[in-house]
Structure 1
Amino acid sequence: MFYQIPSNPRPYPLVFLHGAGQSMRTWQTTPDGREGFQNIFLRKNYPVYLVDQPRRGWSGRSTVDAEIKATPDDQFWFAQFRIGTYPNFNQDVAFPQDEQSLNQFFRQMTPNTGAFDAKVISDSLDQLFNRIGNGVLVTHSQGGIVGWLVGMQSDKVKGIVAYEPGNFPFPEGEVPPTITSKFGDIKPAVAS
Structure 2
Amino acid sequence: MNVPVAKITPRNVVVSEISSFHIGGETVELSDQPRFVMRVAGEGMSREVDLNGSYVTGQLYANCVTLAEPRHEAPVMFWHGGAMTGVTWETTPDGRPGWQWLFLQAGYNVIVTDAVERGRASWSPYPQIYDTGPVFRTKEEAWSMYRVGARASYDDRIPYAGQRFPVAGFDALASQLVPRWTTHDEMTLAAYQAALEKVGPVHLVAHSQGGWFALNMVKRVPHLVRSVVVIEPAGAPRLTPEDVARIGDIPHMFMWGDFIDDVPSWKKYRTATDQYRQVLSDAGKQTTEMDLPRMGIRGNSHVPMMDDNSAEIAAMVVDWMAEAAKAST
Calculate the TM-score normalised by the size of structure 1: 0.81
Aligned to 1:5: 66
Aligned to 2:43: none
Q: Which of 139, 144, 160 is the equivalent residue of 1:74?
A: 139
Residue 205 (structure 2) pairs with residue 138 (structure 1):
yes
Instruction: After superposing the two structures, state which structure 1 stretch, 8-17 or 53-62, moved more.
Output: 53-62
Amino acid at match of 1:171: L
Cα distance in 1 for partners of 2:239, 2:63 equals 35
Deviations along 1:127-150, whole A, 9 cap, x unmatched? 222221311111100111110121
Aligned to 1:160: 228
For 1:65-104, what aligned pairs fall within 5 Å after superposition? 66=134, 68=136, 73-85=138-150, 86=154, 87-98=157-168, 101-104=169-172
Aligned to 2:117: 55
Residue 93 (structure 2) pairs with residue 31 (structure 1):
yes
For 1:106-185, what aligned pairs fall within 5 Å after superposition? 106-112=174-180, 114-154=181-221, 155-171=223-239
Aligned to 2:84: 22
Secondary structure (helix, strand or coil) at the match of 2:189 reads helix
Contact 2:211 2:231 in 1 (8 A): yes
Amino acid at match of 1:158: R
Deviation at 1:121, TM superposition (A): 1.9
Work out which of the two has the higher radius of gyration on C-alpha atoms and give 1 or 2: 2
Contact 2:83 2:136 in 1 (8 A): no
Deviation at 1:67, TM superposition (A): 6.8
Cα distance in 1 for partners of 2:145, 2:188 equals 23
Contact 1:137 1:157 in 2 (8 A): yes
Give % identity. 26
Deviation at 1:38, TM superposition (A): 0.5
Contact 2:202 2:226 in 1 (8 A): yes
Contact 2:116 2:191 in 1 (8 A): no
Contact 1:42 1:48 in 2 (8 A): yes
Secondary structure (helix, strand or coil) at the match of 1:84 reads coil
Contact 1:18 1:26 in 2 (8 A): yes
Q: Which of 103, 113, 138 is the equivalent residue of 1:41?
A: 103
Instruction: After superposing the two structures, state which structure 1 stretch, 16-25 or 124-133, moved more.
Output: 124-133
Instruction: After superposing the two structures, state which structure 1 stretch, 143-152 or 125-134, moved more.
Output: 125-134
Structure 1: runs of 5+ lacking an equivalent = 173-180, 182-187
Deviation at 1:161, TM superposition (A): 0.3
Secondary structure (helix, strand or coil) at the match of 1:5 reads strand
Deviation at 1:116, TM superposition (A): 4.3
Deviations along 1:24-79, whole A, 9 cap, x unmatched? 0000011111111111111222111111111111113321254747xxx1010001
- Let me know the Cα RMSD of the aligned residues: 2.0
Change (3 A) 1:61 1:117: closer
Secondary structure (helix, strand or coil) at the match of 2:198 reads helix
Amino acid at match of 2:74: Y
Contact 2:135 2:182 in 1 (8 A): no
Cα distance in 1 for partners of 2:69, 2:196 equals 20
